[in-house]
Structure 1
Amino acid sequence: MVIETLFKELTGYNPYPFQLQASQEIFKNEKFVITAPTGSGKTWMSVIPFVYAKENNILFADRMFYVLPQRTLVTAVANTIKPILEKRNLKVTVQMGGQNEDPYFEGDVIVTTIDQILAAYLGLSYGTSKNASNIAPGALMGSYIVLDEFHLLEADKSLATYVDMMNFLSPFVRTCMMTATATEKYLDAISSKIKGKYQVVSGQDIVQLQTSMNEVRKREVIWCDIPIDAEVILKQHKDRTLVVVNTVKKVQALYNELTEKIKRSGFDIEVVCLHARFLKEDRDTLELKIKDCLKRSSKKEIIVIANQVVEVGLDISASVLISDLCPANALIQRIGRCERYGEFIGKVFVYAINNHLPYDEDLVNRTGDYLKEQTPLFMTAIEELEMVETVHANREEKLLNSLSFSKVRELVEKTQSEGNRSSIKNLIRDIDNIQVLIHPKPWELDLYKKPEYFSIPYSTLLNYLRNIEQPSKYVFYPEFPNDYQSKYSKEVHWNLVEDIKNIYNYLFVALSPKIASYSKEIGFSLDKGEFISKETLSEIEKRQRFSYKKETYVEHALDVRKKIRSSDDKYNVVTSQFAQILNCNSNFVGELAELVGALHDAGKLIEKNVLVSQKWQKKIIGDETKEYLAHTDFDPSNPYHLQKEKEKEFKRAHHAAEGACAVLPILELQTKNLQLEKEIAGQIILSMYSTIKRHHGAYTKKMEEYCLIEDASKVIRKSLQGLFENETPLNREVGPSKAMLYEKFVLNAAEKQKLGWLLYWFFSRRLRLADQLSQQEKL
């Protein structure tokens, strides 16, 4: 099958020349950056190379990530590609806040947010516990990552970290970075940072294509030197009008003003507003209504008032766009929601503003100056790119080039090695929002049942509280008990905030309905109301512990080995890349992963663990056994089991770090077969050792003294049959001083240990997923 045919099958249309060129460049270049005007088909252009490679058995990527800056975009892209790709046997998953569908990135195509993928890269996966956060990063290697709408990322935070990720994971990763609104100099700067290539799809190319299809998207843009109000909206309104302003407060004010004016005038015009401060169910309803009223064939009359949430992700087309002045790249996104199908000439009115926030003042002023000088003008893709080049010239690339990527690398390395979440605000984004409940007596709520809440900027809340009398009477903050299990229960103590300046110390607060309200029409607002947050769960969803079935040490080791090798085809690309670097065949890389799986539970052969396991089976289960066990029977729903496991006689010794230390001589012996440089061989040994040490906790450090049973070497040899035929030397016994010494034997994410760190991610992912699957299948 040729790529043109696949384009036609998946999309229903023949590819544009620039799409074919881009697809070919993506195949040829591991790192590719492209800018193309809105509505030019970038999504499928970036997806099709992966599909083509999969269906033609080309070693291109093991999996694909489609990464977006906002959750609404994730939903829109997933809804577009999932039905089509799943018909071709490609599993499409969604991973984002509020939809934790694929925390370990096991899909063929994972649609996710920039926050999720960067958190995984930093070893702080949002979708998993901290202990399990060394499973997801291994999915990044051997993958193809599409980063869409990258102009929305903060250059000094998430974009800088993404650049670091591309460089650190090279040559184990591919990327295609896309946007509609970036200058050529900016593309040049980014592609230089990631050592890639870039492509600019010119406005002329797009207009020629649109002309050939009789779909030239043309909008008349007019500058208006006054602020937007209800009167000007009604004056410019045609049939389907979209009003986009810069703040939620202005959305709500215009909605109230406009609905009141329409009511007084006796008009029959539906008005809806949209922003991020709606409850999910209400927002979904509003978005469906807006998409229905502003779809291509719609004849309905409506005025939609919104903020930046409509700039990307919503497939809507208004006849008239009324917009606040904003930076050129944001304005072009807004213009893209007006007559986007080229059937009519769209009308765009851009109005003056009194405050530049939340945007950069200089960019806003430069855009305003450009519009005053150039408008009225008929804007096509050509004029759009000219405006971006004029307004944004030299700004983004200067900021990017001014960043110290060595400092970014230093902070990333420290975060990956230590797991410190405080780095997120510097490496992904500084979340300046506080979660807010509305309730007069928040102590009546069970927080574990997820009461309805809203997310608003700290500054918005603080500014509001400063302007009301005795604000401390209406704001409560939660104080949690020390018992972690009770953290989200009614045991939480709520106290009045005595000094509103301390609001920054809290992640969430409760506001009295006397100062906060909510409605389905305008969302959350800081005003008196009657709304009270309700619990959304009728029952507490507590995470269940794993059950276990009796399994001998050798049975478990052989089963995990089998599970690891059965997933080989999911890691063809990354395995071949490691094989090339290590100058060995791919099967040997798989054998190293299998060896780690075979040895991971060696600590279960510590004398104390063997005795406790046998005693548990005899006393609690009634099964007298002399076997060496990896797992005993255990049922977390059985109160008797839960009670007994806490008793001293059934306390097992730690086994992960201790087992890694015990099998270290075997790892060293196996690595000698590769005949590599001493430094590289040392990294391989350390990667396998670290995987075993951290197979229950991604940041395990502590190691205790131990002594394995006398038969340990013989038992381990049985678990290695067909994989490792040499003797099985062990560190069978380690005392306190040696234990402290081995604690310092650690792997970190430093550049000089990069190969070892990436192997550690690879081995950890394969071992931990196989280990989980092994027990799940037995239950």
Structure 2
Amino acid sequence: MIKILDYTTFSKELTTYTPYQYQLRVAELLFSGKNVILSVPTGAGKTWASVVPFLYAKQNSIEDFPQKMIYSLPLRTLANSIYSDVNDVLHKNSDLELASIQTGEYKNDEHFENDIIFSTIDQTLSSFLCFPLSLSKRQANINAGSLVGSYLVFDEFHLLDPKLSMATTLGMLRILGNLCRFCIMTATLSEKYIQELKTTLNAVVVSINDFPEDEIQISSLKVPEGKEYKKSIEVFEKTINAHDVIVRHKQKTIIICNRVEKAQRLYNDLVQDLEGFQNLQGLNAENIICLHSRFFDEDRKVKEDKLKELFGKNNSENAILISTQVIEAGMDISCDTMHVEISPINSFLQRAGRCARWEGQSGEIYVYDILSLDEKEMIESEEDDPETKQQIRTINNKYLPYDKELCETTFKYLKEISYLNKNIAQQLVDAILTTQEANNYSLIQQDNCNIAKIQESWNNCEKNMYSQTIRDIQSIELAIIDYNQIGHNIFIPYKYQTIGLFKWSFMKWAKDILATNEDVIFVAESNKNSQFIDWDTLDSEGYQLKPINDAYQLKNCYDIVFVDKSVFKYTVGAGLEPGTGNRISPLKPYTKEENQITEYHKDTFIQHNKAIIGCYEKIFKPKLTFTFKQLNAYWGEDIDWDKLIKVMICLHDYGKLNVAWQKPMKKLQELKGNYDPNEVLAHSDFNETTDKEIEKLSGVKNKPPHAGIGAYALIERAKEIIAFNRYEYLSNCISTAILKHHGVDTTTYPDFSISNVDYAQADSLFRANGINVRLIQKARRGHLIDSLPSIVNEWIIYMFFVRILRLCDQEATINFEKYLKQ
């Protein structure tokens, strides 16, 4: 149990304010071994309610708490914003470790190695499902184990897709059980749905309703002195327009549209209409910001930083923000005047959370209907296939991307109120969403929280499972090029920054463009005649542009589409739009392959394994006290996990003792020099760039694979090596980690023969680490499919083991001398 006084002092010194009672309750529950569902309004401090307990545990070396935190959000903008806010605080406390961020935009922790990670839900779930979006299939099993023994925070949980990412998250938490601690946070789920989550996950609900003393302290809830309410509501049965925005502007105005096209039009209208309005005097055009999903990364980052400054606390500058739902949650910004297009009640309340957020601030919220779509936004098609017709009906819904019925119901209820507070907000959520959320929950239960699809993903490690488990986004990545410069030349497609667009919106644009233009829209085709760009292996042979002449070819969803700048324009102010422009896609940093080792240095079999053990003991073991304890409860018996990890390490390269493997490696080392024929090698001196000729002479490229041999050797002697009650299942976990420590597709082992001399050199290492039996030294090739994990528990243990092995193997190969000292 935490000492409340110590925790309160720590939290206040870190955040500069005394923690609310509900925040103390969250910490108390987490430290007592409970999981939490936190339901508080926007702007009530839920981020620090979830983060401070982890920092406190780290700072005080509390062993009965996870040593890694993975904080997941549904949108990149939210992840960027909260990561920045938290890191700013951590930076001021030099004894606290800084956080890392892993999103589609920022990839500075692709292997989830840092102790504090901010990530999108897509990155977190795809990692657990063994198709991490930022890694190749070869590395697909590295990240899943990072969630074992971690503290998992899911912010803005209500924004997840009920049938996909939300269901998969629930399935993941049910599978992990006691192997993680978690905190789910939401502001706009119905009371009934929260109770359903509580039952499904065996968690404790913390609600602001239970802490009336906090309500009078939280600045986003406090009614300013002399005011009847904090936020007024006025509903118009007309569309939002620039004139209404201008005449109602005071100091800070935020406009939130449902579609990018509408946001762009309003931005352009506002920039043109600054003159002649008294209340806009002193408003700098640079302080009119448009932010949505159709900006290049660096431009969006500049805009995010500027709007956080302009709309943050203690900034008196005049400013207007026009945006879409990318800012409706998670961003700590506020305005005195807000204009929003109608959206479902949960979305509306998130938007309203960016109004009158600060203490002493009051605000006005104006809500507009969407009467019809502009003709240029409509799609028509002569095609008959059902998918095309359904997608066209979807995009022609004037409330896109939202459900029509929910928008209409929300609009009806909002017309009946004149102001907004916490109680009214919850009443609206319960009245409008309870039935739909009950239906959603029923579907989640029917599909058993996508657990079957999770297991399928573990088996095949294919990214095509993304649309079945996380998000069916129907998007196309767009890059702007100058075709006159590229033409028919070979080029590298993945070097361009791209902008994601809803596929069917782009097809509408493409249809209109292609009616009067040729050779302006292209896809990239590999010289290997593959339809899709191989983002994982980054094909060095290059690609060529192939023109698209029929817009409906694009429904096959190529990875990326290239458009000539003559038909698309891009401006820093409004972003990407159809039209003639001069800007082409900026280039992005490119490395040939993730963490690829292009130069090796000689080490022996014993040196390499001792270095890996040293790496494990330095990097992983000190942080595994909590995990080992939870693993015992998860597996159902006390197990020496440390010993098993070392057994796995010692056997992972057992196949390198194979005569057919050692012979070409020794030949390569002989050609390089510094050769001792009595050494059993793990690696030879080798430089990929300068040693290609001796590589051919040595025959090293033809050496047999080695991973499967160690897996087979363990299986053959598993009962003697693994002296635990359920040794057979544990041996499946460990042998699979060995089998797949270079790639997830390995299922076999080759012919092998290990000499007595080479075996004797390794035997002392084996015995020192618990392998006190004679291992098999010779066998014919075979399959190991029957020894792969078959139940959920085995998969989890395998993923925990293989992560440690792969990361330590990689690190020790680069710095073996450093870890030999360990």
What is the identity, as a one-letter code, of the residue corresponding to 2:629?
S
Partner of 1:649: 699
Pick one of 433, 449, 452 that aligns with 1:392. Answer: 433
Could you tell me how far apart the structure 2 residues matched to 1:212 and 1:137 are?
38
Asked if the contact 1:242/1:318 (under 8 Å) is kept, the reply is yes
Asked if the contact 2:666/2:681 (under 8 Å) is kept, the reply is yes
Could you tell me how far apart the structure 2 residues matched to 1:28 and 1:448 are?
51
What is the identity, as a one-letter code, of the residue corresponding to 2:712?
C
Q: Which secondary structure does the structure 2 equivalent of 1:181 belong to?
A: coil
Asked if the contact 1:203/1:385 (under 8 Å) is kept, the reply is no
Asked if the contact 1:435/1:453 (under 8 Å) is kept, the reply is yes
Q: Which secondary structure does the structure 1 equivalent of 2:273 belong to?
A: helix
Asked if the contact 1:452/1:535 (under 8 Å) is kept, the reply is yes
Closer/same/farther in 2, CA of residues 655 and 542 from structure 1, 3 Å limit: closer
How far apart are residue 538 of structure 1 and its match? Answer: 9.8
Pick one of 660, 664, 667 that aligns with 1:615. Answer: 667
Partner of 1:313: 330
Pick one of 691, 713, 716 that aligns with 2:762. Answer: 716
How far apart are residue 364 of structure 1 and its match? Answer: 0.3
TM-score normalised by the chain length of structure 1: 0.92
Partner of 1:703: 749
Closer/same/farther in 2, CA of residues 109 and 301 from structure 1, 3 Å limit: same
| 1:32-70 Cα distance to aligned partner (Å, 9 max, x none) | 212100111101111122223331524111311111111
Could you tell me how far apart the structure 1 residues matched to 2:345 and 2:221 are?
27
Partner of 1:340: 357
Q: Which secondary structure does the structure 2 equivalent of 1:467 belong to?
A: helix
Asked if the contact 2:496/2:586 (under 8 Å) is kept, the reply is yes
Partner of 1:255: 267
Partner of 2:478: 436
Pick one of 36, 40, 56 that aligns with 2:40. Answer: 36
Closer/same/farther in 2, CA of residues 334 and 211 from structure 1, 3 Å limit: closer
Closer/same/farther in 2, CA of residues 387 and 647 from structure 1, 3 Å limit: farther
Closer/same/farther in 2, CA of residues 511 and 280 from structure 1, 3 Å limit: same
User: Would you say how many aligned residue pairs link Structure 1 and Structure 2?
Assistant: 761
Asked if the contact 1:667/1:688 (under 8 Å) is kept, the reply is no
| 1:624-660 Cα distance to aligned partner (Å, 9 max, x none) | 422211111112232xx12332457333111110222
Partner of 2:551: 500
Asked if the contact 1:203/1:381 (under 8 Å) is kept, the reply is no
How far apart are residue 31 of structure 1 and its match? Answer: 2.9
Pick one of 238, 244, 267 that aligns with 2:250. Answer: 238
Could you tell me how far apart the structure 1 residues matched to 2:610 and 2:313 are?
59
| 1:406-453 Cα distance to aligned partner (Å, 9 max, x none) | 372112111101212211101011132111122341446843672243
Closer/same/farther in 2, CA of residues 104 and 452 from structure 1, 3 Å limit: closer
Could you tell me how far apart the structure 2 residues matched to 1:486 and 1:137 are?
21
Q: Which secondary structure does the structure 1 equivalent of 2:600 belong to?
A: coil
Long gaps (5+) in structure 2: 372-397, 818-822
Could you tell me how far apart the structure 2 residues matched to 1:349 and 1:758 are?
50
How far apart are residue 204 of structure 1 and its match? Answer: 8.2
Q: Does 1:197 align with 2:204?
A: yes
Partner of 2:377: none
TM-score normalised by the chain length of structure 2: 0.87
Pick one of 582, 598, 619 that aligns with 2:650. Answer: 598
Matches within 5 A, 1:144-293: 144-202=151-209, 205=212, 207-210=215-218, 218-263=230-275, 268=281, 269=283, 270=285, 271-293=288-310
Could you tell me how far apart the structure 2 residues matched to 1:467 and 1:448 are?
25
Partner of 1:551: 603
What is the identity, as a one-letter code, of the residue corresponding to 1:526?
P
Pick one of 624, 635, 651 that aligns with 1:571. Answer: 624
Could you tell me how far apart the structure 1 residues matched to 2:22 and 2:806 are?
43
How far apart are residue 306 of structure 1 and its match? Answer: 1.3
Asked if the contact 1:561/1:595 (under 8 Å) is kept, the reply is no
Pick one of 54, 59, 64 that aligns with 1:59. Answer: 64
Q: Which secondary structure does the structure 1 equivalent of 2:748 belong to?
A: coil
Partner of 1:422: 464
Point out the more displaced range, 339-348 or 617-626. Answer: 617-626
| 1:524-583 Cα distance to aligned partner (Å, 9 max, x none) | 001233333344569989975342222222222223233323331121111112234556
Q: Does 1:766 align with 2:770?
A: no
Matches within 5 A, 1:726-745: 726=772, 728-735=773-780, 739-740=781-782, 742-745=783-786
Could you tell me how far apart the structure 1 residues matched to 2:606 and 2:499 are?
52
Long gaps (5+) in structure 1: none
Q: Which secondary structure does the structure 1 equivalent of 2:479 belong to?
A: strand
Closer/same/farther in 2, CA of residues 723 and 299 from structure 1, 3 Å limit: closer
How far apart are residue 489 of structure 1 and its match? Answer: 6.3
What is the identity, as a one-letter code, of the residue corresponding to 2:686?
F
Matches within 5 A, 1:472-483: 472-482=518-528
Q: Which secondary structure does the structure 2 equivalent of 1:209 belong to?
A: coil
Point out the more displaced range, 83-92 or 62-71. Answer: 83-92
Asked if the contact 1:713/1:729 (under 8 Å) is kept, the reply is no
Closer/same/farther in 2, CA of residues 264 and 754 from structure 1, 3 Å limit: same
| 1:433-492 Cα distance to aligned partner (Å, 9 max, x none) | 111122341446843672243221111111123334245542112111129799566842
Closer/same/farther in 2, CA of residues 170 and 687 from structure 1, 3 Å limit: same
Partner of 1:111: 118
Closer/same/farther in 2, CA of residues 479 and 121 from structure 1, 3 Å limit: same
What is the identity, as a one-letter code, of the residue corresponding to 1:660?
A
How far apart are residue 207 of structure 1 and its match? Answer: 3.6
Could you tell me how far apart the structure 2 residues matched to 1:432 and 1:170 are?
33
| 1:156-184 Cα distance to aligned partner (Å, 9 max, x none) | 00111111100111121111100111111
Work out the percentage of aligned pairs sharing the same amino acid: 27
Asked if the contact 1:30/1:173 (under 8 Å) is kept, the reply is no
Could you tell me how far apart the structure 1 residues matched to 2:210 and 2:614 are?
54
Partner of 2:149: 142
Partner of 1:410: 452
Point out the more displaced range, 530-539 or 324-333. Answer: 530-539
Q: Does 1:683 align with 2:729?
A: yes
Could you tell me how far apart the structure 2 residues matched to 1:424 and 1:530 are?
35
Point out the more displaced range, 646-655 or 487-496. Answer: 487-496
Partner of 1:450: 495
Q: Which secondary structure does the structure 1 equivalent of 2:326 belong to?
A: helix
Q: Does 1:371 align with 2:409?
A: no
Q: Which secondary structure does the structure 2 equivalent of 1:344 belong to?
A: coil
Q: Which secondary structure does the structure 2 equivalent of 1:34 belong to?
A: strand
Could you tell me how far apart the structure 2 residues matched to 1:453 and 1:34 are?
36
Closer/same/farther in 2, CA of residues 464 and 433 from structure 1, 3 Å limit: same
Could you tell me how far apart the structure 1 residues matched to 2:472 and 2:352 are?
29
Could you tell me how far apart the structure 2 residues matched to 1:711 and 1:62 are?
43
Q: Which secondary structure does the structure 2 equivalent of 1:563 belong to?
A: helix
Asked if the contact 1:207/1:382 (under 8 Å) is kept, the reply is no
Could you tell me how far apart the structure 2 residues matched to 1:257 and 1:686 are?
64
Closer/same/farther in 2, CA of residues 554 and 543 from structure 1, 3 Å limit: closer
| 1:343-383 Cα distance to aligned partner (Å, 9 max, x none) | 13211111111221110011101110001222xx2222222
Closer/same/farther in 2, CA of residues 542 and 14 from structure 1, 3 Å limit: closer
Q: Which secondary structure does the structure 2 equivalent of 1:356 belong to?
A: coil
Asked if the contact 1:664/1:731 (under 8 Å) is kept, the reply is no
Q: Which secondary structure does the structure 1 equivalent of 2:742 belong to?
A: coil
